[in-house]
Structure 1
Amino acid sequence: MVSIVCLVALLAVAKANSFGYNIALSRPTGSSSVFVNGVPPVAANSNLAVDGNFNPDFFGGSCFSSTDVATDPNPFWFVDLGSRVFVSGITLTNRADCCADRLSGLTIEVFEFNPTSSSETPEFCSMIIGGVALGQTVARSCSPMVTGRYVRIRKPSATAPLTICEVVVSGGNFNKNFLNIPFSNVARNRPVRVTSQFSLPSANLIASPGLAVDGNFDSQFVTGRSCYSSAIGNTSPTFYIDLGDYFNIQSITLTNRGDCCAERLRNINIGTLLKDPYRYLEFPKLCGTITGNVAAGANVTVSCFAPTVARYIKIQKTSMVDSNDLLTFCEVQVTGRFASRSEVTNKSVDNDVSQALAANGIIARAETNDNWSG
């Protein structure tokens, strides 16, 4: 009866998920260790967690388990999804005959490369902190969705083995209606980050980055109070936008300051990235540049050299005439539409992380700050 209830619950979760289907079924798996018991020995191999058999009785022969914690104190399990895909969530079925506490204290992560050999920082999906009842199926969503090839479930500093009877990974196409939405400004009121921001205490003014995506096109820097500017002394000012999802980017439009200093909107590179630039090493894909002067209060549009899919926009001033040559603009518009699954996953070269690591002569990235502001 417990098995039937769990299976019904699992099917209900899968049906409610609008992002796709089980992309882990029968895929290659691996683990930090495998529990072996009995004579002749029976192994609770990692592949048993994706065999499509939801029997939660451990001795039914369809559950994975790591070995004892004295041998493996930080157990993990992973599945290779075969290529970069969307991962919207994960569903785990717990053991039913005993030891329910083993499915707790878990962190679920997504990697581009094999987690047993990769030095990358994984994308975080979710956690299972509290206990899960005997035979229960528990679902966790990745919010926001992430992309990658490998899903890893790890149990750091474990007091008991990691035991899982079935894993379902949800992923796939967006709702196809998304693709019928016309191109529009996808940057408005999105989180932003910058290397610095200008303040003018005498006018009680802070030119914060969120002002550049607030939908207010007033180009009067002081009286309008809706323009962003980097701070004096920032030699490589940079402005990032997190679009919150993957979009097909057509162009980026900047509104110049109108009251003075129009010449500051020059020598600018505009690039796109798939991953959080504060957490991952990835080469930005150049969309376009602004080299010459832009008239005061005018809009300048940079159309991407080639169709590009991205979640993050990077606007960087590449050279400065003097310390007062700041990065200043009053609004940013990013014209795009939702990207399809194939547009994101059909990336010709899937090694941005390894390229960046090699180019920088390092093996790991130290920056993990996740603070974005709007």
Structure 2
Amino acid sequence: MVFIVCLAALLAVAKASNFGFNIAQNRPTGSSSVFVNGVPAITASSNLAVDGNFNSDFFAGSCFSSDVPANDPNPFWFVDLGSRRYVSGLTLTNRGDCCADRLSGLTIEVFEFNPTTSTETPEFCSMVIGGVALGQTVSLSCSPTVTGRFVRIRKPAATDPLTICEVTVSGGNINYNFNKQPTINVARNRPVRATSQFSFAQTSLIASPGLAVDGNFDSQFITGRSCYSSAIGDTTPTLYIDLGAYFFINSVTVTNRGDCCAERLRNINISTLLKDPYRYLEYPKLCGTITGNVAGGANFTVNCFAPSVGRYIKIQKTSQVDSNDLLTLCEVQVTGRFASYTEVTDKTFDNDVARALVENGIIPADGSLFEGNRDRRAVSKRDEAPTMA
């Protein structure tokens, strides 16, 4: 009875924390090895970690364990969520009859493709350093929320087996009101990164990336102090904006510098990305281009060739006339609407990862490394995809 009450409380906390519902229960699993012990033998197979049974007594037969380190020094376990999902967090239930310290030194990652064959860089979710008591369930949050199909738990350089009695994965459909058409700029005050930033020591001016989304449209570079600029010597200057959520993006508007150098707003590609470009290989979707002839201080709107789903905006100068031909943006505005769960997870909107892997020679063009027909279709139809950046 106590166990049932505690479990109900745990699920209530998960729901209250907006973690969503368990999307891992009874899903297909895999592991680097399986521990077999005893007479009669107990096979601690990978599926036992998602069977919905939270019994933490290993010998009750509902806990997963990898083999001993001599046979498996880098154990891992993974679950296939069946399709690309939002993953906001997870819980791990530790073994309760002994060996509590085994639930330590863990890294939790999320993959697009089967981690046993994929060479992609996974998205980091969380870690377990140690300190989980016997039978205790620990809650972990992915911050920020990540997306993928496979959740992997690995224990590198292990000195004892990876043992988990139950895993729940929180996520699924984040309740965005995707029918609402935002009328405000969804890029304002969002996190921004750039390949470089310009500094002018004589005036103590630093033209940092955040100035491009601060809501200040002053186009006077020196006196206004509200324009971003790349640094001299950056041959492919690029600015990235993290919108913080998935949007169906329609257009991007940029404000040109007004006091001089209007011609710098040229040879620019504006693209969208689903994932953090500093952590994940992805082929960007081209929204549109700026070729030049934008008046000083003027706004220029790029309407996307085809509206696309993305979280990150990439603005890149593709060529320079000379070393002073910098990427200079006094303000960037992004318009669109929240993307629906279907739009984010649908491979017709998201074949950029597959194309990137194929075109970089990481996977074969026939998609033989993908799991499931859905992923194979994403690769086999790569030539039918819209023009990419």
TM-score (norm 2): 0.88
Pair 1:29-2:33 in alignment: no
Aligned to 2:152: 152
Q: Would the aligned equivalents of 1:125 and 1:141 in 2 still touch at CA under 8 Å?
A: yes
Q: CA contact under 8 A between 1:13 and 1:139: conserved in structure 2?
A: no
Could you say if the C-alpha distance between residues 117 and 151 of structure 1 is closer, same or farther in structure 2, counting changes exceeding 3 Å? Answer: same
Question: Structure 2 CA distance, aligned partners of 1:104 and 1:253?
Answer: 48
Partner letter of residue 39 of structure 2?
A: V
List per-residue Cα deviations over 1:214-256 (Å, max 9, x = no partner): 1111000111111111222322221111222222212111001
CA distance in 2, matches of 1:280, 1:175: 25
Q: CA distance change for structure 1 residues 91 and 183 in 2, over 3 Å: closer, same or farther?
A: farther
Distance 1:361 1:53 in 2: 42
Q: Are 1:14 and 2:28 counterparts?
A: no
For 1:125-136, what aligned pairs fall within 5 Å after superposition?
Answer: 125-136=125-136
Post-superposition offset of 1:2: 6.0
Is 2:280 aligned against 1:280?
yes
Summarize the alignment of residues 317-356 of structure 1 with structure 2, pairs less than 5 Å apart.
317-348=317-348, 352-356=352-356
Deviation of residue 331 (structure 1)?
0.5
Equivalent residue for 2:224? 224
Tell me by how many angstroms 1:46 deviates.
Answer: 0.2
Distance 1:13 1:106 in 2: 23
Q: Once the 2 structures are TM-superposed, how far is the Cα of residue 40 of structure 1 from its aligned partner?
A: 3.3
Render the CA deviation track for 1:160-203: whole Å, top value 9, x for unaligned. 21111111111112224465362421212222222222222222
Please report how far the alpha carbon of residue 113 of structure 1 lies from its aligned counterpart in structure 2 after TM superposition.
0.9
Which digits, 9 at most, give the CA deviation of each residue in 1:47-96, with x for residues without a partner? 01111112222121111111112211221110011111100110111122
SS of corresponding position for 1:98: coil
TM-score with structure 1 setting the length: 0.91
SS in 2 for 1:180: coil
| Percent of matched pairs sharing the same residue | 80
Equivalents in 2 of 1:206, 1:327: separation in Å? Answer: 14
After superposition, the Cα gap between the structure-2 partners of 1:183 and 1:124, relative to the gap in structure 1 and judged at 3 Å, is farther
Q: Are the equivalent residues in 2 in contact too, given 1:281–1:352 (CA < 8 A)? A: no
SS in 1 for 2:202: helix
Q: Which whole-Å CA distance do the structure 2 matches of 1:104 and 1:323 have between them?
A: 51
Corresponding pairs, count: 363
1:14, CA displacement in angstroms?
3.0
CA 1:286–1:264: 2 relative to 1, 3 Å:
same
**Offset at residue 5 of structure 1 (A):** 5.0
For the residues of structure 2 that align with 1:248 and 1:349, how far apart are their CA atoms? 10
**2:5, 2:153 → 1: CA distance?**
24
Deviates more, 1:79-88 or 1:332-341: 332-341
Q: Which moved more, 1:52-61 or 1:107-116?
A: 52-61
Q: 1:310 to 1:222 in 2, by over 3 A?
A: same
- Per the alignment, residue 372 of structure 2 pairs with none
1:112 equivalent in structure 2: 112
Q: Deviations over 1:315-357 (max 9, x none)?
A: 1112222222221120111113332221211122755345324
Could you tell me how far apart the structure 2 residues matched to 1:342 and 1:14 are? 24
Assess if the C-alpha contact under 8 Å between 1:9 and 1:137 holds in 2.
Answer: no
Any gaps of 5 or more consecutive residues in structure 1?
364-374
Q: For the Cα contact (< 8 Å) 1:66–1:75, is it kept in 2?
A: yes
Q: CA-to-partner distance for each residue in 1:85-135, whole Å, 9 max, x for gaps?
A: 100110111122221111122111100111111111110001111221122
Contact 2:176 2:338 in 1 (8 A): no
Judged with a 3 Å threshold, the aligned counterparts in structure 2 of structure 1 residues 183 and 94 are, in CA distance, closer, same or farther, namely: farther
